[in-house]
Amino acid sequence: MEANHINLNEWESFGGGGFGESFYNKTDDSVILKLNKTSVSAQKAQEEFRRSKAVYDMGIPSAEPYEFVTDGERYGMIVERIQGKESFGRIIADHPERLEELAGITAEYAKALHATPCNTEVFSDLAQGTREMIAGNKTIPENIKVRVLGYIDDLEPATTCLHGDLNPCNIIIADGKVYWIDLGDFGYGDPLLDFNILAHMHHLGPNPVLLKIFHIDRKTLKRFYEAMGRQYFGSRWGTPELNEKMARIAQIMAAKAMCIWPSAYHVNLPFLQGKKLRTAISLFIGDHVKI
């Protein structure tokens, strides 16, 4: 698939994240442009577009992807602009009294997603992908790596859909309709894997990072995680067996963070400047692994 060239003068930037930047079209308010950083290869960007389109074609509530594009240096996609959208993270930041309601909605949409069979020829096994990422990392101490890889191998095999980056800012609402966004990590596997970010970040996520990404602090994210867990798991929530599983999921995410965050701008935030490796490992993994 060849990327269509776009004229960036026709677009106006309105925000960015760890791996890219988003733009409004100056004359067409029905679309937005998402461009990855130059560190993201054309192949990876193309794969993200292909996955996003496949998710939309499956009927999963999401913005429709239109074109795979490039500005000559960066690659990305033009997608449907969902007018008047607000992320659950932003709503909770502005209206904390809605936290329980939005956590409940997230749980219901997650359960529906996790009950949907996934096309294993289009999407990848997220457990296997995470395993390969961690196994190939040269920063994570070997004893930690062996432990976490064992946790991944103990996950239940499954071929149902996973969002891959489930958090309160990747589920949005517009005109009463709920959508999933940022589908580049979509895949299949044990539904517990979709709790990795929440299980880890509510416990150890530094507030500057959480406020930057999710618009809420760690205390609020913990409340969201607990409320979503109660709605999703019912009477299983808080049992010793599930607590042990979620602790393992948190450790998997902590190790994964050591692999992916150096390529995102988040690690350049002031609180990480000049940190030594051991301190960085403690920050991301902390007492999950008793360094």
Report whether 63 contacts 82 (CB < 8 A).
yes
> Which pLDDT score, from 0 to 100, does residue 210 have?
87
What's the pLDDT at 285? 53
- On the 0-12 / 13-18 / 19+ scale of CB atoms within 10 A, 220 is buried
Secondary structure string (H, E, C) spanning 172-217: EEECCEEEECCCCCCEECCHHHHHHHHHHHHHHCCHHHHHHHCCCC
The CA distance from 274 to 11, in Å, is 36
Beta strands in 73-168, from DSSP E residues, in sequence order? 75-80, 86-87, 124-125, 161-162
pLDDT in the model for residue 203: 83
Return the pLDDT at 261.
Answer: 67
User: Would you kindly state where each structural domain of the chain is located, as residue ranges?
Assistant: 4-80, 86-288
Q: Write down the pLDDT at residue 269.
A: 35
Rounded to whole angstroms, the Cα distance separating 33 from 78 reads 5
Residue partners of 167: CB distance under 8 A and separation at least 6: 89, 197, 198, 201, 213, 214
Model pLDDT, residue 204: 78
Is the CATH code 3.30.200.20 the one for domain 4-80? yes
User: Can you identify the CATH homologous superfamily of domain 86-288?
Assistant: Aminoglycoside phosphotransferase (APH), C-terminal lobe (3.90.1200.10)
Residue 18 confidence (pLDDT): 62
Residue 273's pLDDT is 40
Beta carbons within 10 angstroms of residue 262's beta carbon? 13
Angle in degrees, CA 249, 254, 257, rounded to 5: 125
Topology alike, domains 4-80 and 86-288: no
Positions in the chain short of pLDDT 50: 265-277, 287-291
Give the model's pLDDT for residue 206: 78
